[in-house]
Amino acid sequence: MPVLLFILFFFSCGETAKQNPFLPESLPTEDAVKRSLSSDVYLVKLNEVARLQGKTLPEWKEWERSKVTDKDIGKYWPSERKSLPPEISDTDAIDRLRESIRIRIVWSRMFHQAGISWKEKTFETSRADLLRRLDLRFAPKFGYMKAKWFIVEWSDYLCTFCRDSFPHTKNILAKYKSQIFYVHKDFPLDGDSDEGLLPLALGRCLWEKDPEHFQTHIQLLYSNSKKIMRGDDLQIVEWEPFRECQVKGLSSKYISQVRSDMKEAAAFGVSSVPTFWVNGRWIVGALNAETWERVLKDTTSH
């Protein structure tokens, strides 16, 4: 009898069976995670769920990360492994892929708990279709249209992630030179006010007046974007020859060009910056030297 009582006690007083952690049929792509996290509405939902758990959003993320097991990662490994070369001895690449799977499991669980459906771009845009729909008349651009890689970047000089990406983008353009046709398109973070459009509008003016040195102007636009938005009196030597390109008295046609880009971007489904289109592939979020090289390698045959 004591043994029987012990067994009954063990099964009745122990912890209730834990529900298996959520695992989707397929993981969101890194682009889909970035795109979803760019939504203010989704961030509010995620922060609310974190608050109800007595955590901040970063704390909740780390807690979920600690619960991901090797078995969870193994569920997706066969399909995810296909993104690596058949014969690979680079253990760092394997580790990076495993970590990418882990993080995407974490976000899929967090999205699930917050009632969020992640946003995948389910369509592809061919080069011919893009050229048909993209207005190149006033857009800053470098290279030859029939180059190996065709890159379009939607960005805003007020965007921190865009600013962080630019030095790497500049290096890629210098490294591959004639192999890249690059187009810069505007997508303002604040499209509701003319002030929010001023840095991009000023960029349009500088491109029109001095396209040869526009990459230098881009760096200066990123560095001074907040001052431009406030309408501060700028003392920038490189801009002194271009009196038309001053914040005060800037032609409204440049504002109109930015608004036109914003409308065009919405038609393509662009909703955050930076967003890149590279030979048919959409990439959302900042790119560094390593990710740029990987993107170019992956899109060589497109």
**Residue given tokens 């001095």 in the structure block:** 210
Are residues 212 and 244 both part of a single domain?
A: yes
Alpha carbon 148 to its chain centroid, in Å, reads 23
- Asked if the bond preceding 274 is cis, omega within 30° of 0, the reply is yes
Are residues 137 and 265 both part of a single domain?
A: yes
Tell me which of 59, 80, 114 is where a domain ends.
Answer: 114
Domain CATH code at residue 227: 3.40.30.10
Contacts of 285 (CB under 8 A, 6+ apart): 30, 31, 34, 161, 274
Are residues 45 and 178 both part of a single domain?
A: no
Are residues 93 and 212 both part of a single domain?
A: no
Are residues 218 and 264 both part of a single domain?
A: yes
Predicted confidence at residue 253, as pLDDT, reads 96
pLDDT band at 5 (very low <50, low <70, confident <90, very high): very low
User: How far apart (Å, rounded) are the C-alpha atoms in residues 13 and 7?
Assistant: 10
Are residues 263 and 171 both part of a single domain?
A: yes
Give per-residue pLDDT as tens, 137-182.
999 999 998 999 999 999 999 999 999 999 999 999 999 999 999 9
Are residues 137 and 97 both part of a single domain?
A: no
Does residue 142 lie within any of the structural domains? yes
- For the entire predicted model, the pTM comes to 0.64
- Maximum Cα interatomic distance, the chain, rounded to a whole number of Å: 98
> How many folded domains does the chain comprise?
2
Are residues 102 and 161 both part of a single domain?
A: no
Are residues 140 and 212 both part of a single domain?
A: yes
Are residues 182 and 211 both part of a single domain?
A: yes
Are residues 184 and 107 both part of a single domain?
A: no
Between 284 and 147, where is the model more confident? 147
**234 within 8 A of 228, measured Cβ to Cβ:** yes
Does residue 160 lie within any of the structural domains? yes
> Which domain, by its residues, includes 198?
127-298
Predicted confidence at residue 6, as pLDDT, reads 37
Does residue 197 lie within any of the structural domains? yes
Does residue 256 lie within any of the structural domains? yes
